[in-house]
Structure 1
Amino acid sequence: MQRKVSAVAAGVGHVVPVSIVAGGGGILIDADGNSLIDLGSGIAVTGIGNSAPAVVEAVTHQVQQFTHACFTVTPYDGYVAVAEKLNSITPGDHEKRTALFNTGSEAVENAIKIARSFTGKHAVVVFDHAFHGRTNLTMSMTAKSMPYKDGFGPFAPDIYRVPTSYPFRDGLTGEEAARYSLLQIDKQVGASNLAAIVIEPIQGEGGFIEPAPGFLPALQDWATANGVVFILDEVQTGFSRTGDLFASNHETLVPDIITTGKGIAGGLPLAAVTGRAEIMDSPQPGGLGGTYAGNPIACAAALATIETYEKHNLAVRARQIGAVIDEVFFELANSDDRIGDVRGRGAMKAVEVVLPGSGDPDPSLTASVARFAADHGVVVLTCGTYGSVIRFLPPLTISDELLRDGLRVVVDGFRAHAPTTHVKENRP
């Protein structure tokens, strides 16, 4: 950690002050030989584990062939095979095209480029609590100021933010929330100026906010009727994380464009934009790409990773993991009114921590519980616009025993910071 402070820019923070030397099976091992239970998966990246045998084998084979050949100079099969696979498995049976990139931010930014090229319009609508990345454009699309935007302006123009559906706090049905959002879009932006609507099917950094049923379909219907490209950002929700291969499938959404990343390649940097052929083909040749975009090693890892999700039916496993998390935290919520909400899908779950009585966010307790967990060998992540959400993103290969061990430590963290006045009688 002393070397890190001396060598690495201060803006590159960390959650747990350890140095990891090995990992696998839901365990991270640090330089001192400590074993930590991993309930974060590198922010939803290592869904199949961080040393999956299929990925190790695929990457080793590819390294022995060649490590890099810029696809926009001399194409290679791995990139094409990943594109074919994504065209096949993403929502909808229409003709699709895919372009590969390195990060989720790049994928979202390029999705906007493509939508603007196709429509000839420039305005983009995003939502309260959104997180789409750290580049200038995606930072402009991201809602939360600190730490993502503070001091980094000016931001990109033609980005408009409207309310989202937040059932725990707004109490609206999906249809009611959608009517309000669409009214804002119509009056403040106008469909004739709007290139794209961009939304996460479950908001990630914003607090694992799952919109009320009907909200997303209403947005899609409006976008389709008004010639607006409907983009679903599935960088965090994709690849079995929510109990289906893509979160879009829970409400049978068929986006015009879907962005993916994180869990796509077993820990190697890769992201993708997949969409309707006529939209994806609109930019001129040379308008999309990047030196490392679709690196052959990452593509080999992606093919092995996607095969693992499918072969081992990890979407089902995600639902089983979610059931365990629900069991543990609904039980805690019955006796502790600082648990305001337990939400999410599959193995993308969260607990919103509140002040008893008021329901206001409690970021202080949230941070204290996360520190307690880390001090006791469990890696958990916090999130939320108000800093009051503990999120759970365990690898989909974790055992029930290890998962319960990790969750038990988090529960102990609440109890260790529990004034007796914050504990209520069990609900019937």
Structure 2
Amino acid sequence: MTAPVRTARGSEELIRAEEPVLAHNYHPLPVVVARAEGAWVEDVEGRRYLDMLAGYSALNFGHRHPALVEAAHRQLDRLTLTSRAFHNDRLAGFAERLAALTGTDMVLPMNTGAEAVESGIKVARKWAYDVKGVPADRATIVVAADNFHGRTTTIVSFSTDETARSGFGPFTPGFRIVPYNDLAALEAAVDETTAAVLIEPIQGEAGVLIPDDGYLAGVRELTRRKGCLFVADEIQSGLGRTGHTLAVEHESVVPDVVLLGKALGGGIVPVSAVVGRRDVLGVLHPGEHGSTFGGNPLAAAVGTAVVELLETGAFQRRAAELGAVLREGLAALVGRGVVGFRARGLWAGVDVDPALGSGREISERLMREGILVKDTHGSTIRLAPPLTVTAEELTGALGTLEKVLTS
């Protein structure tokens, strides 16, 4: 890391200073990060921590990856924003390479993950009316319980998390909720009004829930047979995290539409995208959808650099290889503070014995030992280190988890 930038205020003072001026929509761990590089961060006092969360997969390539920082610096010196009122010289290349990477035809660039989900919903509804022939304002979208697709008003309308929903109604109609990993329930919910089935290939916020083998292939077969779209939310699971470019590749499934975000911006700028078939995204016409910042040249430059990193397949292979180390280490902890876990690639949900503390309490204990993770629900913590983490760093973190759980 470069020389630390010292602040006049320490961690405790900075945390206290946030209280009266920041809306209380988050409950962060009591660590104040001032600088970072690779898989490591440093707080304002100079204490170092191994980042085992990676911004919920937004930092798949670690903090300040040299190729991504260079791409951002280079573009900052040229052009940062035009709005989509004009073309810019970076957008076409970004769209071409992202479409090729994901095996799709067209790209709709946006900024945040929630925007990608909202855009996917709009595209699915428009397709239902223009192509499928669903009567006006009758389109439905089937989603899974315990989903996490964002926190906009429409998205929380089909959440089953009462913390996300309570106090934010009235809710947007047009959604049917079925249990995750249940093809029979899904089949029963799909009818002639169904525009799309929208699911996460792996439910991250729910605790890294991995469906049974054959579930995603079953969703693909059902949606084809019923004449509706399969929309896969790969905002957390995509772009190398699970050992493939997309998590659906574990079952060789090709959705009609894929939602991307987080890692697409390399941890530098917010970048998201809806990618899919030409006959689906082609339903949009000028004026029907847009974003001032979507597809801006700075985002396109960084996004292109992210795609370049993934085009070699090295990061996907790394996630698969280190994922084996992660699974082996967690398996050794079952019965020693861990009651169960689910893992795919460099992503795991770890269920800690509730007698040892809540997920929040375990996260705080790990923080004091120099490891940063975050809880999901109850006594579950999630592990999602940068794909740049080393095997030694990973085994060290697992050793620290063992120490916290058994000491």
Answer whether TM exceeds 0.5 for this pair: yes
Question: Does the alignment pair 1:314 with 2:312?
Answer: no
Q: 1:154 aligns with which of 157, 170, 173?
A: 170
Aligned counterpart, 2:247: 247
Conserved 8 A contact 2:257-2:276: yes
Aligned counterpart, 2:393: 402
After TM superposition, the structure 1 stretch with the greater mean CA deviation from structure 2, 123-132 or 290-299, is 290-299
Percent sequence identity over aligned pairs? 32
Aligned counterpart, 1:383: 376
Alpha carbon RMSD of aligned pairs, Å? 1.7
Aligned counterpart, 2:8: none
Whole-Å separation in 2 of the counterparts to 1:329 and 1:344? 9
Whole-Å separation in 2 of the counterparts to 1:99 and 1:11? 29
Give the Å deviation of 1:372: 0.6
Conserved 8 A contact 1:265-1:303: no
The 5-angstrom pairing of residues 299-338 of structure 1 reads 299-311=300-312, 313-333=314-334, 335-336=335-336
Aligned counterpart, 2:114: 105
- Gap regions ≥5 residues in structure 2: 1-14
Give CA deviations for 1:276-299 in whole Å, capped at 9, x if unaligned: 101101022121221111221121
Whole-Å separation in 1 of the counterparts to 2:300 and 2:399? 37
Question: Does the alignment pair 1:142 with 2:159?
Answer: yes
Cα distance change, pair 197–354 in 1 and its aligned pair in 2 (3 A):
farther
1:141 counterpart SS class: coil
Give the Å deviation of 1:363: 9.7
Partner amino acid, structure 2, of 1:162: V
Question: Does the alignment pair 1:195 with 2:195?
Answer: yes
TM-score by length of 2: 0.90
Conserved 8 A contact 1:91-1:249: no
Whole-Å separation in 2 of the counterparts to 1:155 and 1:300? 37
Conserved 8 A contact 1:256-1:275: yes
- Gap regions ≥5 residues in structure 1: 166-176, 356-361, 417-428
Give CA deviations for 1:398-425 in whole Å, capped at 9, x if unaligned: 1122222222222222113xxxxxxxxx
Q: 1:63 aligns with which of 72, 76, 94?
A: 76
Conserved 8 A contact 1:45-1:262: yes
| Deviation >4 Å, runs of 4+ | none
Cα distance change, pair 43–363 in 1 and its aligned pair in 2 (3 A):
farther
Give the Å deviation of 1:225: 1.3
Question: Does the alignment pair 1:296 with 2:297?
Answer: yes
Cα distance change, pair 100–398 in 1 and its aligned pair in 2 (3 A):
same
Aligned counterpart, 1:265: 265
Cα distance change, pair 260–363 in 1 and its aligned pair in 2 (3 A):
farther
Partner amino acid, structure 2, of 1:219: V
1:160 counterpart SS class: strand
Conserved 8 A contact 1:47-1:395: yes
Conserved 8 A contact 2:101-2:307: no
Whole-Å separation in 1 of the counterparts to 2:127 and 2:213? 30
Whole-Å separation in 1 of the counterparts to 2:376 and 2:27? 15
Cα distance change, pair 363–78 in 1 and its aligned pair in 2 (3 A):
farther
Whole-Å separation in 2 of the counterparts to 1:399 and 1:344? 18
Conserved 8 A contact 1:322-1:349: no
Conserved 8 A contact 2:319-2:346: yes
Question: Does the alignment pair 1:20 with 2:33?
Answer: yes
Cα distance change, pair 291–51 in 1 and its aligned pair in 2 (3 A):
same
Aligned counterpart, 1:31: 44
| Matched length | 384
Conserved 8 A contact 2:98-2:304: no
